A and B are shown apart, each in its own frame.
Chain A
């Protein structure tokens, strides 16, 4: 069974700090996606990484896909209260027909 493990489960930081959250698996994924879910809303897709070693930037967010395509990280620079939310990673299973979600990292940025 393919699993995605996210760490840390919970993170509380001050505005302006940097942070990194991780998404790990023992299985290879053809791609991984990152989503952010704000309170009262459904998750929203942030980015998809496809190539091993790929780095994508979205303003203050930097996403990296591991060389072996078994892990990914999300780095946030100078976090802001608006970054508060649940960050989920997800990827298609081996057959490509079912999307697997990690349990998420819940981030709280204090002003």
Chain B
């Protein structure tokens, strides 16, 4: 596709359940980021993939959060045993070599 695609666009889950969020980046972009955005707030860095290098996981808030990127393309963010404080919009971005970021529309996660 022409842009970054995220799915699902909305997810409502019960507390304690696991969720998987998917990001399809722009073809050819080697860098991919996940951010979290709470209502009315800025972007909270979660994790960063760059080519075949080990990902920068320094922003993951707890060990319930993990992410992988298969084949240097599609990425999945997994949240285990979801908590209400995990409710937020999760944004994915892929970057050009000039570090210009193209964002998906996000997944709005609601934990009830």
Q: Which residues of A contact B (CB under 8 A)?
A: 31, 33, 35, 40-45, 48, 86, 88, 90-92, 96-99, 101-104, 106
Complex CA gap A48/B43 in Å reads: 19
Find chain A residues with CB under 8 A from B42 CB: 86, 88, 101-104
User: Are A43 and B33 neighbours in the complex by a CB distance under 8 Å?
Assistant: no
A42 in complex: contacting residue of B41, B91, B95, CB < 8 Å: B91
CB distance from B31 to the nearest CB of A (A): 8
Main DSSP-derived SS at the B contact region: strand
Main DSSP-derived SS at the A contact region: strand
Count: A-B pairs, CB below 8 Å: 52
User: Are A48 and B100 neighbours in the complex by a CB distance under 8 Å?
Assistant: yes
Beta-carbon nearest neighbor of B45 in chain A = A101
- B71 contacts the other chain (CB 8 A): no
A43 in complex: contacting residue of B40, B48, B50, B103, CB < 8 Å: B103
User: Are A101 and B43 neighbours in the complex by a CB distance under 8 Å?
Assistant: yes
